[in-house]
Structures are given as structure tokens and as C-alpha cells.
Structure 1
Amino acid sequence: MIQDNILITPELLHYLQSSKNDPNKGFVIKLDMNKTYDLQRETFGDLLGMKVVEKWDNYLGLPLPVFLAPKGVIEDIQAKISRTWWLGKEKGGFWTMLPWKTLCHPKGMGGLGIRDIQLLNLAFLGHQVWRFINNKDTLCFKVLSSKYFRDGDIFHPKRVEKASFTWSSIAAAAKAFKDGFGWQVGSGIRINIWIDNWGLEGLNGGVLNSNMLNPNECSVKDLWLGDCRSWNIGKVHELYGQDLGDKICNLLIGGEGQCDRTVWFHNPHVCFTSKSAYSWLLLKEMGLGPHRFFWKALWKLDTIPKVRVFTWRVGHDILPTNVKIASIQRGFGQGCPRCGAEYEPLVYALKDCPTSRATLSIGGWNETTISKDYKNCIDWLEDMMRVLDKRAMTNLMTTLWNCWNNSNSFIFRGKKEEAQVIWDRASTLSQDFHICNLMNELLLSPNLAVKKWEQPPRVFVKINFDATGVITELVME
């Protein structure tokens, strides 16, 4: 109720301020937001442990789920998050080594799982679209549909030159999620097979062999065997092909009296959720990139967080080697500071530099694992992950981390260490971390699982029953 009032009020103000309306035109409407809130104030206060105060604190603005956040606001938020990650403080210049979009990728795809504020805002707004689909008796739906989509279809609104901020926000979410929604077959009458998404993702008029279909046949019901509520298998295969036709024929048809309804395809329970909506938007934008095996495996390494973050940076080739710095700073030397080689790319600094090579050799890494030439570090490390177990891979990354620290120590402090010293430090760190983890693992977990009855998801039915075993028969209670 409160959210409806928040959405309706800007719409009504927009109507009054429109130049198309007569200056003397007005309307009367009662928005009972204050009383509605008062009715629930005690209940919410008790549940959330909040107190009611007379004087409010600073106003923080409306939440993201209600309106589409302005582009400038989103950019400011993302800039602050980026500054915190790359610099660690509010002021000062910093080097953005990776695009913001890359940081927002899931960890299993090379990112850090940071939420993309723009996509998150759209995912929250998608709830308004879902409410309009399923709650057509609300005042908010009646007000907006009477002006923007009189046929009740939020995905095909009419064009309005100067729409209100309320409708512009909801329309943006409807446009973003249009392909994610579709029809679940009930009566089969309302679903237009020429234009609608239905049954499963990707099933629409674009995959239909229109040459084999009568123009008068436009509903899903026309694909049935008369009124038998079963698929005409031959006709379906003729129109959609063998593979897609088999999937269509496996779709369930609702019972008698069940209407067609709009569902969200990307949730097992066909209900819209912000989590599934955000994941769908993100995957739709980024696609599936290479080296997924490496990105998933690196976060499973049993080591300190610094080594895992170091591994992530190695995978993206964003450690500040001389070659990397020279790519953004004109006149900077590209040679290796430790051995004097002409070029120092990352794979050379960690694997091919004599100091690093000697350290790896002491650790037992033979020539077959470190002698092969690689252009990028991520290719080498992914090959190592395919032949090493988790413990060995963890030891390798800990050793490489210490090799990198040794290079920095030589550059900034002038301190040069022998390969044996580097290896001993890496070995000690790995052993200490492993021993610490063994000491923290309890033989018996003190947390006993408490099982209780849970309400089943929507459109599911849960049946509870007990069984008693008897010598001669099985009795159901």
C-alpha cells in the first residue's frame, strides 16, 4: 500500500504539471499513506526492534526498488566503490587497472562479484513489473494502465511524449526483462505464437516455420488435437523442427479452467526474484568468457586471502611490471630490474627470471612444468591446475607470491635475497597456514541441524505423512 502511494503521487503531480491540461483542471484523491503506516507501526517496530521518534534524521532518499536511479548517481556510487578497491582511501589518484564491468563479473568468470548498480537497480524495479502482472486490482495498476497500457499488457505500452518519472522507471524495467518473461500454457487461447514468448526461453515467432502455418492459426490452442488438451505432435514437429518440437511436446498443459499466465523463465519456481533477474541481466550482458576453469578454481585455494587476490591479479595480468607501466607511461624502461633482461612481462617476472626459476626449482618444480613458453600467465597457471592437486597448486601460488614480493623488495628497498631464502619463506607460510586450519577444525561440530516444517514455494503442494512398520503389513497414518 505504501509503495503504491509512493508510485502514484509523482504520477498525479506529473498530470497536474502537464502543459496539455487546463490550468483549472484538477482532481480529488485520497492517499491514506499516513494512516496505513500507523496501522502497521507497532507491528514493524516490535519485529525490527526499532523505536518511533518524533524528530527524523537526515533524509536518505527513496530506495532503489521504486524508481530508476539517475545515471549520475549510479556513476558516483560506482566511482566510490572503485576508489575503495584500487586505492583504499577517499582522496588521491589511482590507477584503474580493469574496467568496472569486469569487476562486476562473478568470481567464477574473472570478476570479484561486485554488484553492478545499474543492473541491480533494474532487478529491483523488475518487482514492480511482476506486481503489475499479478496484481491488476491495485490502485497503482489502474492509474498507470489507464494512461499507458489500456489493454493491460505492460510489455506493449503506447508511446507517450512526456511520460512521468514513475512510468519511465517501470517502462525501462519492462523493456529490460521482456525476453525473460513468457506464457505458461493453460487454456492456450491468450498466447499468440506469432509474437509472444511462451513455454520456454527462446520459443517465439522467430523460430516458427510460418510457411507451414495458416494465418488464421495464431494461438497455442491451434497446436492441440482438437479439444483434447494434448499436443498435435506431427504439426508441432512440422512447425518447429524435431529438437524444439520434442521440447514443446514435453510441456505440461494446464487443467480444465486454468488460464494462461505470465511467468519468469529463469527461476525453478517460475516466480520473479531480484537474484535471478540480476544474474540473467549480467550473463546476458557479458556472455561466457574463456578460462572459466581457472577463475572458478582460484577461489578454492586453501591459502590466505592475499594470495588468492594476487592470483586473481595475475590472471588479469594487472600487476605493475615494467612492461605494464611502460604501456601507460611514455619513456619508462621495460627491462627486468633483477636480471637486466630487455623485457619484463608478467610471465617472465614470475616464471622465467633466473631468481624465480631457481626458487621454483628448489621447490621441486621440474623443467617439464616451467620450461614451456607461454605468452600469458593465465595460460600457464590453468595448465598447472589441470595436472596439480589443490595443495600443490596452493604451494605454487604461495611461492609465486613470495617471488613477486622479492622483486618489489629489490626495487623499493634495494634488498636482494637468494632463491633458497625465498623458498624457505614460502614453505613456512604454507605449512603455518595448513597447521592453523587443522587446529581450527573441530572433531565434532557443536552446531546441530534443527529441522522444522517450512512452507512450500508458490504453486507447489507439500504432503506430510508418517509410516509405521508392522510385521505383516505397512500401515499409513
Structure 2
Amino acid sequence: MVFRELLDRMWKKLRGWKEKLLSRAGKEVLIKAVIQALPTYLMGVYEIPTAIIKEIHSVMARFWWGGKGVEKKMHWQVWRLLHYKNSLLSRVMNAKYYPHGDIFQARLGYSNSYSWSSIWSAKSLVKEGLIWKVGDGKSINLWHDPWLSDEDGRFVLSNRVAGLKLVGDLIDNDRKEWKTDVIENLFEERDQKCILAIPLSSRCLQDELTWATLKMGPIR
């Protein structure tokens, strides 16, 4: 009941704004400053269920993407292809258009399919709002993927280091903690702070693409 009231409050707050009149930067500021302030107290008292977190993701994503009709459907289609990889649609698209990667690595190609062209065109906007939540770090490219979070953005700013490719290369798998000595020796101060501020789970969790403006902390 408490969490349902939280979702209702968030939705009412968003409905008070005309999302189509705001720029992307304006939407991001509104989500961060107004919406994310709502669950702060609850997070300090309760462990928010995964199902509720997914609903909050959904509310924020609807506001971010906005739009109506085909445009909105295509944004959601990209999201579903990312998160429901075992679905029939995802398996078909994967086999036909990006058999060796994911949808963000796919090329438009010479397909005359209107559906694929629309999905491909929508992926750039979806990509702007995503960030990796670190699990074991084995799916995240350390240098090219968005996985850090501060006012300077979501990407590592330090110069590339030979021998380091994945975020998992910075994690001590036995202790389930960051390799502090490697990070402090090879990365700029800003990157050090961002990396070491990311909590690691004692369980072997997989990396997960999530919504960049939503920071709910670790889920046990």
C-alpha cells in the first residue's frame, strides 16, 4: 500500500507537466530534481521490492520518451528487445539483424522492413537514457559503455589502458570488491571516485542495463 501511494504521487507529479513542451535536458532535470526526491525517505526505511522499482522505471521512461502513436511504440519496442531477449520477437530480430551482438550494435542495412527501420531509428534516443548497473562487470565495456554517474556524464574519462577491456577486469572476483590499487594507479581522480562509489554485491549478479536517472541503490 505504501509503495502504491508512492507510484501514484510520482504519476500525478508528472501529469502536471506537458512532456512534449520540455527538451530532453529539461525532462532529465525534472526527473532528477522532483521525482527522485519522493522515494528518499522510504528507501531509508524499507527495502523496495523489485517489482515496484520496475514500475518506477516504467513511469519515468514513459515521461522521458513521451510522444504518441508509432514513435512511442518504437521506443518501447527497443526497450523490450533489450530486456526480454527470450521473447519470440527478440529472437527473430536477433537472428535476422544483429546475430553477433545487441540492438545497439545493429546496422540498418538494406532491409525494406518499415518496422525494423523504425526500431533502428528509435534506438539512439533510448540509448541516451541508459546506464549499466554493475554486477560481475563481464558484460560492460570499460571504455565505451555508460556505467559511471556524476555531473560529468556516464563514461570513463581517463586515457585507455592496455590490458583492461571490461569493468570486470577491475573487480576482485574472490573478495567481491574493487581492485583499489589498480584503480588508484591507472585512473583519474574523477573516475576513481565514481568507480569506488559503486557498490558490489556479494552474490554473482549479472550486469543490467537500467534507466540512467533512477538510482535505487543495491537490491538484496
TM-score range with shorter-chain normalisation?
A: 0.5 to 0.7
| Residue 160 (str. 1) matches residue 77 (str. 2) | no
| Equivalent residue, structure 2, for 1:235 | 182
| Equivalent-residue separation in structure 1 for 2:90 and 2:22 (angstroms) | 35
Whole-Å separation in 2 of the counterparts to 1:228 and 1:123 = 44
Q: Does 1:188 align with 2:105?
A: no
Report the Cα distance in structure 2 between the residues aligned to 1:266 and 1:150, rounded to whole angstroms.
Answer: 30
1:153/1:185 CA distance change after superposition, 3 Å: same
> Is there any run of 5+ residues in structure 1 with no aligned partner, and where?
1-102, 110-117, 271-458, 462-477
Alignment correspondent of 1:105: 22
Q: Counterpart of 2:122?
A: 173
> Larger relative contact order (C-alpha < 8 A, sep ≥ 6)?
2
The reply on whether 1:221 has 2:171 as its aligned counterpart is no
Q: 1:123 to 1:208 in 2, by over 3 A?
A: farther
Distance 1:226 1:253 in 2: 10
Q: 1:141 aligns with which of 90, 94, 111?
A: 90
* Runs ≥4 residues deviating over 6 A: none
Separation (CA, whole Å) in 2 of partners of 1:156 and 1:181: 15
The letter for the 2-side match of 1:141 is: S
User: Structure 1: how far apart are the matches of 2:87 and 2:67?
Assistant: 25
Inter-CA distance 254–242: structure 2 relative to 1 (3 Å threshold): same
**1:258 counterpart = 2:208:** no
Given the superposition, is the C-alpha separation of residues 235 and 166 from structure 1 closer, same or farther in structure 2, using an over 3 Å criterion?
same
Deviations 1:403-451 (A, max 9, x none): xxxxxxxxxxxxxxxxxxxxxxxxxxxxxxxxxxxxxxxxxxxxxxxxx
For the structure 1 residues 256 and 460, does the alpha-carbon distance in structure 2 shift closer, same or farther, using more than 3 Å as the test? closer
Q: Tell me which residue corresponds to 1:55.
A: none
Query: Could you say what secondary structure the match of 2:177 adopts?
Result: coil
* 1:123 shift after superposition: 5.0
| DSSP 3-state at the match of 2:103 | coil
For 2:154, the equivalent position in structure 1 comes to 203
| In structure 2, distance between residues paired with 1:119 and 1:154 | 21
- Mapping of 1:62-77 within 5 angstroms? none
Change (3 A) 1:193 1:173: same
Q: CA RMSD in A?
A: 3.0
Structure 2 CA distance for aligned equivalents of residues 136 and 250 of structure 1: 30
Amino acid at match of 2:154: L
TM-score w.r.t. the length of structure 2 is: 0.61
Q: Kindly name which structure, 1 or 2, has the bigger radius of gyration based on alpha carbons.
A: 1
2-side partners of 1:460 and 1:123: how far apart? 30
- Give runs of aligned pairs for residues 407-446 of structure 1, distance below 5 A: none
Number of residues of Structure 1 aligned to a counterpart in Structure 2 = 158
So what's the TM-score if we normalise by structure 1? 0.30
**1:22-46 Cα deviation digits (max 9, x unpaired):** xxxxxxxxxxxxxxxxxxxxxxxxx
Post-superposition Cα deviations, 1:353-381, rounded to whole Å, max 9, x if no partner, equal: xxxxxxxxxxxxxxxxxxxxxxxxxxxxx
Between the aligned residues of both structures, percent identity stands at 26
